[in-house]
Chain A
Amino acid sequence: MALLLWLIWPILVLAVDQSKFRTCEQTSFCRRFRAYTKEVSTQQAALPSPVHSASEVLVEGHKVSAKIVHRYGESAQLEPLTLQLQFFRSQQSCGVVRFTLEHEPSTGRSSVVRRSVVEPAGPLEPDEVVAATVEGGTTFTSKSGACAVLLRHQPFQLEIFRDGLLLQTFNARHFLNYELPRHGRATESPRPVGPPLDAADLDPRFLWEESFDQFVDRRPGPTGRGFDVSFAESMALVGLAEHATSLHLGKFQEPYRLYNLDVFEYEVDVPMALYGAIPFVTCVQRSGASGLLALNPSEGFVQVDASNATESWWIFETGPLELYFFLGPSVTDVLQQYHTVTGLPRMPPLAALGKHQSRWNYITPEDVMEVSRNFDRHGIPLDFLWLDLEHTHGKRYFTWDPKHFPLPEVETMLDSLNRTHRKLVTIIDPHLFANDSNYTVANLFKEKKLVVQKPSGEDFHGFCWPGPSVYPDFCSPEARAEWAKLFDFKAYPGRPAELYTWNDMNEPSVFDGPEITLPKDTRHHCGDEILEHREVHNLYGFWVQEASVQGHLLRQPEQRPFVLTRSFFAGSHRHGAAWTGDNMANWRHLERSVPMLLSLSLCGLSLAGADVAGFMGDPDLELFVRWHQLGIWYPFYRAHAHLTSKRREPWIFGTTVLEKVRSAVLTRYRLLPMWYTLAAEWALLGLPMIRPIWYHDLQDTQAFQHADSHFFVGDALLVRAPETGKSVKLYLPGNSSWYDFWDPSSIRPSGSYKEPLHKHHVPVFVRSGHCLVQRWRPRRSSGAMEGDPYTVVCYGQPATGRVYIDDGRSHEYQKGAYIFDEITLDFNALRGTASTLDKTKRAASAPSVERRIERLVLLGMTKIPKQITKGEETLDFSIDSQPERTSAVDLTVRKPGLSFGSSWSIHFH
């Protein structure tokens, strides 16, 4: 018996238990839709049956409406559906088309999902269209002429164009499947004679009741929403975060699943659902780039045809069919159009870009302070320390364990951390312990009837960390408001402190629920609407994080919130950071972290990271060091570890490991001004902080083959992920010169290289022509660097760069209290030009922050200047090196007496 257990155990710990999670085949709406797509594909007739056709096409300003008639058989037809197309502008030009298809006549009231995701982003700017009849359809063209949609009438089909080039076709394969309600409990009879009404006719089983893993789901009948979209001349399709797969979406036996779940020890290279879901794709096309957002938070599946990634089908369990087409023309434009609809990201506090140290669990305030002291002792900067579950009193969130975290000691700890500008994060999960009549937090939600309910109206109880728990009904605005109040410093922790929040388990995780989450037939009171959980599932984690952010703003309106979430949906970038959940300490997970974070970045959620050096298990020293060396290039860099893993603070493993990690972290801090500039360009312009290798070199088809192992940080730095062993295959894209970041005297052209792996770092290269702004003085924390001057490093001549500076913590930047300078180096001069990120908002006030430049490092100058002058003044400079093979020269200008925030120039003579 004992032997048997030992045999099973390794399997349990090494892989997810897939039988706990449904496949498409085990999910009635997906299974019947898949059958429907096969049925439609194999029909021989010129016109498929059933067929949708458009009629009564009307245009009014930016809106187009039509009736979509659903015919089956010779003459039979169903009640028509209402199609609406609305054209909007983004970044002062056309490019966003909203598509809705509804059965019920519109009530004029927007859906819960639109109220949550789209409306808070602000009103969309209508873009008037002109209609023109063409053979078999009508074309709607924006006034500028650049964006156009051709509506084909029979069969119904939409073709999306930009500058006359076809980007996408909706319903090209006629898979549109809008399952209409069937009144009364239809018998699960065999398929009726004649063509099917919809997919429910092909497989009428389990429309009303469906079982999985001993759970029974009572369903409201057929509600599936399926469609197909084809992408013209696709080079790569990306998005659909979060899946532990390659960056480029491709064909798996299973479709990609979108259903937020707590998947313990997830597997890589399977399209299973994970903790978050962003139903948004971007297609990189020879004709440009375009995107598609399916704004639906119910369970979804997306099948992608990999042979050319041109075809896809999508099925959602229920809810409105609301799509957004983004017309590019560039990948950046698509992302900005996505942010126009879902809102711009929340600007993080500068400290959030520093180092985060976490573990499940630091067990006492003294433990926390000792870790903090050790970071000082070993000269490693640190900004955030994290407390997992065990700091609470029996997993009651918003409380402290009276034995291990007595309040006086907590206060001493907070003072001690905050003194060196370090911050604390505590975990706050959405399940509230139900079996303690003295737990006021749970009582509050129970008494106000603000918890998720069973279909019978009783409170739903699920099992989670503390035991039987209730789940606040985050769909309810009132529940979110109550949750926000809990963050009041007077209640938690009792007085103001630099204390931030981590929302875990917010899929939500329900240990004894179907697929470890809420039963789909539980009830939410979303304002005056009552919705089933199935209709909003993928938004639960979004709302938890939103309510926590509101809590931070309520208690400290002048400070930027920082809340990390595990679960997310489209638009979660408005709230804060996310991470890739419970990964594992092995090389596969390290490798897959790169495409996972790139995918998040291309879905608008740049501020994300993977747990370094793997949550589950104990990394060996090579993996440990390599993961830190990679982790410093994640936008969100947090070390975290499971309860059962061994302690792994950087000093545990001796001086060799310590020095490698220290030098990695110091590199991160040296580049903080660059990271902060990237964060600002993300939050204020919608640019991704990290980007695929092909992002800036779409014409380089070879680059696409390296998308999982390389990534850009901003537009200048290219990082090659490490592998175990002595060397890696390196690809430097495009047609330019590249500087080795670690040894800038080494320059090489674009191309493929077998690159030896250096012990102290992973390969990082800087594209010639870029200037990076840095801070060279190592300090204890980012806060301790605030008074330090800057160093500008330019790689190659000519070169350009940008820098963003503000106070790092308040909302004053929204009133224009920031510096955004452009740096340009040409053959005669180096210039700084004060610029702006948003001309409309810019006010006169400038932040009172350090802005001096203490040093200019100019690498690869084409000739040695005799003199460098600033006005009348001659500047002091030294020649650092003169590489033998070239005539180029590296020089350093000492104390140029320049400051950001004003225009300046220095000249070479």
Chain B
Amino acid sequence: MRWTLLGALVGSPAAMIRGVAPEMQGQYAQGLRCNGQEVAASAINDNYCDCEDGSDEPGTGACSGQEGTLFHCANVGSTPRLVYASRVGDGICDCCDGSDEDHQVTAAKCSNTCKEEGERSRAEREAKLKDLRAGLQVKTETISQAKQQKQEKEAEIHRIDQELPALETKLTELRQKKEEADAEKMQAECKTELPRLRQRVKELEEKVASLEKDLVAGDGTTTTTTKKVVSEYAKWMEGADAAMEEDMADEDDGVESPTAPAPAPPESENPSEDPLEKELKEMESQVKSHKAQLDLMDLMDLMIPKGFDRLPLVPLVPLDSKSRLKKELDELPEDKLGFASLRDKCLEYKTSEYTYKLCFFQDAKQSHTRLGQWERFTSPTEAIFKNGEMCGALGALKMWSC
């Protein structure tokens, strides 16, 4: 009876159709069609679902389950809302004005809480606005600071660029001076130092030769020892016990060793290494290091005249800081200067299983897994991290701020 009455009211232009937003009411005035048929006015909101899209039941839960037609609550005093048909007439108050629950049809007693909700949401909105204003203030300051820094950085780059030709000229001059002024000195020094070093190299090479000879001569003992060591080591790898290692150490002691180096300490990584080979290696490395020393000295002599030790390096420093400054400038294009304060900042979020850490201008991590390397801001509310370990085909992580 009640629903028929509702249906009858549809015809009158003044009647509002329950659950339909005011601006949509007009659509129903023109008559409703669904499933290729005209829907009788009496079938609208009669609590029986005739249309699959729910259009005949915008004000009841009869067409629950579809998402084509949503219930509109006016929520006077607060914000209008759209709710699913499945929420309409289910005994649970979803709209603050209680309009989703018809008191006569369902048991729910929804009191109108729109005034409170409205006040609450207004207060929340105001608080949010306050936050936003404060944020905007901070942003403006950050931008102006960033602009200033940007100018300073650009000035610095400009200054470096300006200084560079002078410095390069100076370097060239210095190099020339050094070549001219110290050729003599170098020769003098080389005369005394080089022969000494060459002598030492010769000595060492001789020693190496002699040791190699020893190695060949001592064939009988050393090779068998080496073989034994190798096979014992293999046994140890297969799970032989510590006693075997001790046996090996005893045998090692018995081997004649012309240079008698200190026995390898027990914690040494390679306790079974032949002492002869070891010494040989040591000698070789000594030779190498001396040779390297020679080369280095030659170079130093060429490059650094006394009294000008650090000068030639000066241009390198501004070049390095220039590239850093340029990178920082690129990271923050003009429209995103407000993000300057995020430099070196990270966001952290703990879920049940992981800790997510997103660091601006750096990287993003899921606990210990790197999700991506900072790429760039793609919009004021979106940034992208790329080349993560986990994303596979996706290969990138997007971060939204909402």
Contacts and interface: CB of A to CB of B under 8 A. Distances in A.
Interface of A: 363-364, 367, 379, 419-421, 647, 666, 777-780, 783-789, 854-855, 894-895
Most chain B CB atoms below 10 A, which of A647, A787, A894: A787
B379 interface: no
Contacts of B50: 894
A778 B64 contact: yes
A334 B86 CA distance: 44
Most chain A CB atoms below 10 A, which of B48, B61, B64, B90: B90
B46 A784 contact: no
B223 interface: no
A783 B352 contact: no
Contact of B91 (A364, A666, A783, A855): A783
Q: Give the contact-size bracket for chain B.
A: 20 to 34
Contacts of A854: 47-48, 62
A786 B107 contact: yes
Contact of A780 (B46, B62, B92): B92
20 contacts: A379-B65, A379-B86, A419-B92, A421-B91, A777-B61, A777-B65, A778-B86, A779-B64, A779-B86, A779-B90, A780-B86, A780-B87, A784-B86, A784-B90, A785-B90, A787-B105, A788-B61, A788-B90, A855-B48, A895-B46
Contacts of A779: 61, 64, 86, 90
Nearest to A1: B239
Given A780-B87, A787-B90, 15 more contacts: A421-B91, A777-B61, A777-B65, A777-B86, A778-B86, A779-B61, A779-B64, A780-B90, A780-B92, A783-B91, A784-B91, A788-B90, A854-B62, A894-B50, A895-B46
Interface in B67-107: 84, 86-87, 89-92, 105-107
Contacts of A647: 352-353
A769 to B, nearest CB: 28
A777 B64 contact: yes
A719 to B, nearest CB: 23
B167 to A, nearest CB: 60
Contacts of B48: 854-855, 894-895
Contacts of B84: 379
Contact of B92 (A420, A777, A789): A420
A787 B61 CA distance: 10
A777 B62 CA distance: 7
Nearest to A855: B48
A213 B92 CA distance: 58
Given A367-B352, A854-B48, A895-B46, A787 B91 contact: yes
A789 B84 CA distance: 18
Contacts of A363: 352
Contacts of A783: 91
Nearest to B108: A787
A647 B351 CA distance: 12
B105 A778 contact: no
Contacts of B86: 379, 777-780, 784
Contacts of A419: 92
B387 to A, nearest CB: 25
Secondary structure class of chain A's binding surface, majority of residues? loop
A364 B64 CA distance: 32
A783 B62 CA distance: 16
A783 B106 CA distance: 12
Closest 3 A-B residue pairs measured CB to CB? A784-B90, A777-B64, A778-B65
B89 A787 contact: yes
Contacts of A789: 47
A367 B350 CA distance: 12
A393 to B, nearest CB: 19
A783 B107 CA distance: 11
Contact of B65 (A364, A666, A785, A894): A666
Contacts of B46: 895
Contacts of A666: 65
B19 to A, nearest CB: 15
Nearest to A895: B48
Given A778-B86, A895-B48, A786 B65 contact: no
B81 to A, nearest CB: 15
Interface string B34-78: 000000000000111010000000000110110000000000000
Nearest to B239: A1
A666 B65 CA distance: 9
Nearest to A363: B352
B125 to A, nearest CB: 23
Contacts of B352: 363-364, 367, 647
Nearest to B351: A367
Contacts of B107: 786-787
Contacts of B61: 777, 779, 788
Nearest to A366: B352
Given A363-B352, A367-B352, A379-B86, A784 B65 contact: no
Nearest to B67: A379
A784 B92 contact: yes
Contacts of A364: 352
A139 to B, nearest CB: 61
B24 to A, nearest CB: 23
A906 to B, nearest CB: 17
B42 to A, nearest CB: 11
Nearest to B90: A784
Most chain A CB atoms below 10 A, which of B47, B84, B86: B86
Nearest to B102: A787
A778 B85 CA distance: 9
B372 to A, nearest CB: 22
A778 B90 CA distance: 10
Contacts of A421: 91-92
B187 to A, nearest CB: 64
A852 to B, nearest CB: 9
A777 B65 CA distance: 7
Nearest to A404: B352
A536 to B, nearest CB: 41
Contacts of B92: 419-421, 780, 784
A784 B61 CA distance: 11
Contacts of B90: 779-780, 784-785, 787-788
A647 B353 CA distance: 10
A529 B138 CA distance: 79
B394 to A, nearest CB: 14
Contacts of B64: 777-779
Nearest to B63: A777
Nearest to B1: A897
Contacts of A780: 86-87, 90, 92
Contacts of B91: 421, 783-784, 786-787
Contact of B106 (A367, A420, A787, A894): A787
B249 to A, nearest CB: 25
B399 to A, nearest CB: 20
Nearest to B89: A787
Nearest to B43: A894
Interface string B239-281: 0000000000000000000000000000000000000000000
Interface in B290-343: none
Interface string B110-136: 000000000000000000000000000
B153 to A, nearest CB: 44
B50 to A, nearest CB: 8
A789 B61 CA distance: 11
Interface string B351-391: 01100000000000000000000000000000000000000
A146 B370 CA distance: 79
B207 to A, nearest CB: 46
A788 B61 CA distance: 9
A266 to B, nearest CB: 28
Most chain A CB atoms below 10 A, which of B46, B89, B91: B91
Contacts of A786: 91, 107
Contacts of B62: 777, 854
Contacts of A420: 92
A780 B107 CA distance: 16
A785 B90 CA distance: 6
